[in-house]
Amino acid sequence: MKKLKVAILFGGISEEHDISIKSAMEVAANMNNEKYEPIYIGITRSGVWKLCDKVTKDWEKHTDCLVMISSNKAIRGILVVRNNKCQIQPIDVIIPVLHGKMGEDGSVQGLLELSGIPYVGCGIQASAVCLDKSLTYLVMQNSGFKTPQFKILNKNETLCGEELNYPVFVKPARSGSSFGITKVCHREELPNAIKEARRYDEKILIEQAVIGMEVGCAVLGNGSDLIVGEVDQIKLSHGFFRIHQEKTPETGSENSAFIVPAEVPKKKREEIKQTAKDIYQSLGCSGLARIDMFLREDGQIILNEVNTMPGLTSYSRYPRMMRAANIEFEELIDRWIMLALDRRK
């Protein structure tokens, strides 16, 4: 049987560049090479696209071959530049293992739509809305879902903070993996927290802290035909969840532990799963996403955020939740690719 040519995009210009590399390494390690011919495309921090032989932490040292995705549907592939000559490399499907800005926000998805090449994951609209946490909350509130109370600070706007009910979280509106997030317990801490968030985005989200259990769902599928992995739970000893900023997350977190399935009654876990499905469909997600929520003591389920290309590292939550539902990583990749091909049809 002819192998499908699968391009794996990784790296990128966002602060999640290194996390993307780790995720792509796991995808590469779990891909069935008897079914697929992987083609690795790394994107440097400055936005240069290069072809490489494999995904490694120092991949840039081993390639100087430039590559670009053709936006011409008649070509349906990538253009590889070697010795000042351009060659066409056909591609059957693309897995954009990119996190954050210019990767998970609809920009790359727009390019892939123009190319006509099937790709794994959410489309332009869902990607753009979900990366912007403030837009996610506005859309979800209008759809009847519960979200934290929040305020938006646009560029150059300031806030005295007297009207806030502390503690609050100050976040870049369009970033991920806890970069730039500060928990603020007193008004005097607010200016520095806003300054820190603005290192990553000019649009700031100030969000009321929710007292409750942090839970999440890994969702897989298109339309209403969805599979949800086991519900997970994050147990914190102190602070807040920010494993991707820790020095050695592969050996365990400094302040958090994962429990799968979550320590809640089965009936409530099923309600959390159904809520995740409803959120996924309401946002128009496809392929895969991770839905993070809070479960309050009164039983209310509050949306936290939606990740349209969740972390896929060795310590990430999405593969762990799916594994607990008896779907191993290799099968996940098969399903992602088939979903991408079916959606294109």
Q: Per-residue pLDDT tens for 136-160?
A: 999 999 999 999 999 999 998 888 8
The pLDDT confidence band at residue 130, using thresholds 50, 70 and 90, is very high
pLDDT at 236: 75
Tokens for 222? Answer: 């298109």
Residue 334: exposed, middle, or buried by beta-carbon count in 10 A (0-12, 13-18, 19+)?
Answer: middle
Which of 32-41, 73-82, 153-162, 297-306 shows the lowest mean pLDDT across its residues? 153-162
Prediction pTM value: 0.93
pLDDT for 242 equals 53
- DSSP H or E stretch at residue 294: strand 287-295
* Rg, Å, the chain Cα set: 20
Beta strand 93-96 with 4-11 is: parallel
Residue indicated by tokens 């147990």: 235
* CA angle at 128 for the pair 110 and 122, rounded to the nearest 5°: 65
Q: Specify the range with the lowest mean pLDDT, choosing from 78-87, 110-119, 135-144, 247-256.
A: 247-256
Contacts of 187 (CB under 8 A, 6+ apart): 160, 161, 162, 164, 166
Report the percent of the chain where pLDDT is more than 70. Answer: 94
Reported as a pLDDT band with limits 50, 70 and 90, residue 344 is: confident
Rounded-to-integer distance, Cα 287 and Cα 157, Å = 37
> Other C-beta atoms within 10 Å of 91: how many?
23
- pLDDT reading at 255 higher than 70: no
Q: Which two tokens stand for residue 174?
A: 């369009």
Q: Strand runs (DSSP E) across 136-212, as ranges?
A: 150-153, 168-172, 182-184, 204-208
Structure confidence at residue 335 as a pLDDT band (50, 70, 90): very high
Please give the mean pLDDT across all residues of the chain: 93
Higher per-residue pLDDT: 124 or 64: 124
- The per-residue pLDDT for range 168-196, each reduced to its tens digit, is 999 999 987 788 999 999 999 999 999 99
- Residue 294 pairs with which residues in a beta bridge? 214, 302
Q: Determine contact, residues 122/289, Cβ cutoff 8 Å.
A: yes
Task: Tell me phi and psi for residue 256, to 5 degrees.
Answer: -140, 155
pLDDT of residue 83: 84
